[in-house]
A and B are shown apart, each in its own frame.
Chain A
Amino acid sequence: MHNIVEINNLKKSYKGGFEALKGINLTIRQGEILALLGPNGAGKTTLISTICGITTATSGTVSVGGHDTVKDYRAARKLIGLVPQEIHLEPFEKVINTVRFSRGLFGAGSDDAVIEKILRQLSLWDKKDSQIRALSGGMKRRVLIAKALAHNPRVLFLDEPTAGVDVELRKDMWQIVAGLKADGVTIILTTHYIEEAEAIADRVGVITKGELMLVEEKDTLMARMGQKELEVQLSEPISAVPDAIASDALRLSADGTALIYTYDTRKERTGITSLLAKVSEAGLVLRDVVTRQSSLEEVFVNLVHKADEKTSQSEDAA
Chain B
Amino acid sequence: MNWTAVRSIFVFEMFRFFRTIAQSFLAPVISTSLYFVVFGAAIGSRIQEVEGVSYGAFIVPGLVMLTVITQSISNASFGIYFPKFIGTFFELLAAPISFLEIVLGYVGAAATKALIIGTIILLTANFFVDFTIQHPLAMVGFLLMTTISFALLGFILGIWAGNFEQLQIVPLLIVTPLVFLGGSFYSISMLPPVWQTISMFNPVVYLISGFRWAFFGTADVPILTSLLAIVFFMMLCLAVIWWIFRTGWRIRE
Contact = CB atoms under 8 A, between A and B. Distances in A.
A78 interface: yes
Interface of A: 52-56, 73-78, 80, 82, 84, 86, 88-92, 97, 100-109, 147
B87 interface: yes
Given A77-B96, A88-B86, A90-B88, A55 B252 contact: yes
Interface residues of B, number: 26
A118 to B, nearest CB: 16
A105 B91 contact: yes
Nearest to A54: B93
Given A56-B252, A101-B8, A107-B96, A74 B91 contact: no
A104 B93 contact: no
Interface of B: 2, 4-5, 7-9, 11-12, 15-16, 19, 82-83, 86-88, 90-97, 248, 252
A97 B15 contact: yes
A14 B221 CA distance: 51
Contacts of A97: 12, 15
A125 B28 CA distance: 38
A89 B95 contact: no
Contacts of A54: 90, 93-94, 252
Contacts, number: 73
A104 B7 contact: yes
Interface of B, secondary structure class, is helix
Contacts of A75: 96
A241 B195 CA distance: 101
A105 B88 contact: no
A215 to B, nearest CB: 24
Given A89-B88, A90-B86, A108 B4 contact: yes
B86 A53 contact: no
Contacts of B91: 88, 102, 105, 147
A155 B37 CA distance: 61
Contacts of A107: 2, 4-5, 96-97
11 contacts: A52-B94, A53-B94, A77-B94, A77-B95, A78-B96, A88-B87, A92-B19, A104-B5, A104-B9, A105-B8, A105-B97
A105 B9 contact: yes
What 10 A-B pairs have minimum CB-CB distances, sorted nearest first? A104-B8, A88-B87, A77-B96, A74-B96, A105-B95, A52-B94, A107-B2, A54-B93, A101-B12, A107-B4
Contacts of A104: 4-5, 7-9, 11
